[in-house]
Amino acid sequence: MKRLLTLTAIAAAAVLPLAACGNSDPLAEDSGSGPAGGSGGPLVIGSQDYYSSEIIAEVYAQALEAEGMEVQREFRIGQREAYLPELEAGRLDLFPEYTGPLLQYWEPNTEARLSDDVYAALSEATPDGLRVLDQAEATDQDAYVVTEEFAEKWDLETIDDLADVDEEITLGANSEAESRPNGPQGLADAYGVDAGFTPIEDGGGPLTVKALKDGDIQMAIIYTGDPSIAKNGLVALEDTKGLFLASHVVPLAGDAVGEEAADIINSVSAALTSDDLLELNGRSVDEQLPAATIAEDWLAGQDL
C-alpha cells in the first residue's frame, strides 16, 4: 500500500521482520514458551505500519480483552513480505488485512475482481494453517475520485457515467499508474472512456487534491479510506466492472484463533462500515489521537 515502508525498509524488515516491536524479539522461537498464541498463551495480534491497520488491530485486541482473552500486540510491523511469514509460522495469530491485495500476493494473476468473487478466491488461496474470517463492509481501496462539482455537472455516480462527459478528462496519480491496469488504457478498455494523464507523485495526497480542486486534473486515484475525500468534498465513483480489485477489511487468523475468538472478531467485522473506517482514519489524521483511544471510543458506540 502506498503508505507503507519503502523498499529499503522492506529489505531491512525481511531480515529482522519484528525487531522494531521491542528491545528483544518476543516472537523468537527460543523465547521458552513455544510459538506465540499457542495453547495457554496470548493471541498475538499484528498490524501493518499504517495508521488504519493499527486502529483495526487495536479494535480486535480490545474486543477480545473485553471478553477476558489475553492478547499481545505486535503493531506497525511493515509490509506483507515481513509479516506473512510470521503468520504462516504461527508467531502471529491475527492480523487485519485487505482482501484484494492479499489475494494478489498469493495469486498475482487472479481474475477475481468484485467483492464476493475476491473473497471466495482468497478463501481458497489462503495457505494451510491460516484462514480468513468474515470480511467487513468497510473498504480501503484505490478509486477514481472527482470533485463534487464535477460529479454534479455530469451526473456522475459510477465510472460508467464518465462516458457521458463531453469534455477532456485528465487523470492524476503516481507516475507508475499510467501503465497499470487501472490507468488510462485500462479505463479505455473496461469502460470505453478516454483520459489523459498527469503524474503527481504524492500517492493521492495534498498535491493531488489541490490539482483536482484547481481543475488541473478532473479525476484522481485516491484510497476510499482517505479522510481527505470527505474533507474536500470529493466523490469516489463506483467501479461496477472491477477495474480496481475489491479490497475489504478482512481478519487473517492462524490456528490459535479458536471459535470463540473468531466469533468476537466476526462481530467486529459485521459492524465495521466504510463510513466508520473513514471516521476512524480521520480521528487519527486530523485529531492525532492514539489508536487505543480511537478503538476504545468506537467499540463503546457499538452493540456487539
Residue 161 in grid coordinates = 457515467
Strand (E) positions, the chain?
A: 43-46, 71-74, 94-98, 130-132, 142-147, 170-173, 196-199, 219-223, 234-236, 249-254
pLDDT exceeds cutoff 70 at 35: no
3-state secondary structure of 194: coil
CA dihedral 55, 59, 65, 66 (to 10 degrees): 140
pLDDT exceeds cutoff 80 at 31: no
Cα distances from 51 to residues 4, 87, 124, 177, 282, in angstroms, run 10, 20, 29, 24, 10
Residue 249's DSSP bridge partners are: 98
CB count, 10 Å around CB of 102? 21
Confidence of residue 40 (pLDDT cuts 50, 70, 90): low
pLDDT per position as a tens digit, 79-121: 899 999 999 999 999 999 999 999 989 998 899 999 999 999 9
> For residue 180, how far is the Cα from the chain centroid?
19
Mean pLDDT of 281-298: 95
Query: Is 142-236 in the same CATH topology as 7-18+39-139+246-300?
Result: yes
CA dist 97 and 99 (Å) reads: 7
Helix (H) or strand (E) holding 223: strand 219-223
Residue 281 in grid coordinates = 482514519
pLDDT per position as a tens digit, 171-189: 999 998 898 888 999 999 9
∠11-207-13 over CA atoms, to 5°?
Answer: 10
Mean pLDDT of 140-155: 96
CA dist 237 and 159 (Å) reads: 6
Q: Helices marked H in 135-199 — which ranges?
A: 148-154, 184-191
CB count, 10 Å around CB of 107? 14
Domain chopping of the chain, boundaries: 7-18+39-139+246-300, 142-236
Residue 71's DSSP bridge partners are: 43
The superfamily CATH assigns to domain 142-236 is Osmoprotection protein (prox); domain 2 (3.40.190.120)
Instruction: Domain 7-18+39-139+246-300: give its CATH code.
Output: 3.40.190.10
- How far is it between the farthest Cα atoms of the chain? 68
pLDDT per position as a tens digit, 243-284: 899 999 999 999 999 999 999 999 999 999 999 999 999 999
Torsion angles phi and psi, residue 172, rounded to 5: -115, 135
Kindly report the pTM of this predicted structure. 0.75
For the chain, give the percent of residues with pLDDT over 70: 87
Helix (H) or strand (E) holding 171: strand 170-173
